[in-house]
Amino acid sequence: MKNIAVLASGRGTNLQAIIENVENGTLHANLACVISDNENAKALERARKHNIKAIYLDPGPKKTWLIPEVEQNYVKTLQDHNVDLVCLAGFMRILKKPLLDAFAGRIINIHPALLPSFPGLNVQKKALDWGVKFSGCTVHFVDDTVDGGPIIVQAAVPVLDDDTPEKLAERILKEEWRIYTEAINLVLSGKYKIDGRRVIKTDDR
> Could you tell me the smallest distance in angstroms from the CB atom of residue 51 to ligand GRF?
20
Contact region with ligand GRF (CB under 6 A), list: 57-65, 73-81, 109-117, 192-200: 109-117
Given candidates 90, 98, 136, 150, which one binds ligand GRF under the rule CB under 6 A? 90
- Write the interaction track for ligand GRF spanning residues 145-184; mark x where CB under 6 A is met and - where it is not: ----------------------------x--x--------
C-alpha–C-alpha distance, residues 72 and 95, integer Å: 11
Cα dihedral 81, 85, 91, 96 sign: positive
Q: Does 99 bind ligand GRF (CB under 6 A)?
A: no
> Could you tell me the smallest distance in angstroms from the CB atom of residue 86 to ligand GRF?
14
* 102 sits in which H/E element: helix 97-102
> Could you tell me the smallest distance in angstroms from the CB atom of residue 41 to ligand GRF?
8
Tell me which residue of 69, 28, 24, 26 sits closest to 50, measured CA to CA: 24
178: left (phi over 0), alpha (psi -120 to 50) or beta: alpha
CB 29 within 8 A of CB 3: yes
The reply to whether omega before 116 is within 30° of 0 (cis) is yes
Q: Does 46 bind ligand GRF (CB under 6 A)?
A: no
C-alpha–C-alpha distance, residues 71 and 95, integer Å: 8
Q: Does 13 bind ligand GRF (CB under 6 A)?
A: yes
Given candidates 46, 93, 106, 111, which one binds ligand GRF under the rule CB under 6 A? 111
The three state secondary structure string of 76-88 is HHHHHCCCCEEEE
> Could you tell me the smallest distance in angstroms from the CB atom of residue 143 to ligand GRF?
16
Among residues 28, 50, 81, 111, which one is catalytic?
Answer: 111
Is 111 annotated in the active site?
yes
Cα dihedral 60, 41, 56, 177 sign: negative
C-alpha–C-alpha distance, residues 188 and 157, integer Å: 26
Q: Does 110 bind ligand GRF (CB under 6 A)?
A: yes
Between 61 and 74, whose beta carbon lies closer to ligand GRF? 74
Given candidates 89, 102, 142, 168, which one binds ligand GRF under the rule CB under 6 A? 89
Kindly list the residues in this chain that would bind ligand GRF in the complex (CB under 6 A). Answer: 8, 10-15, 89-90, 110-112, 173, 176
Q: Catalytic amino acids?
A: 111
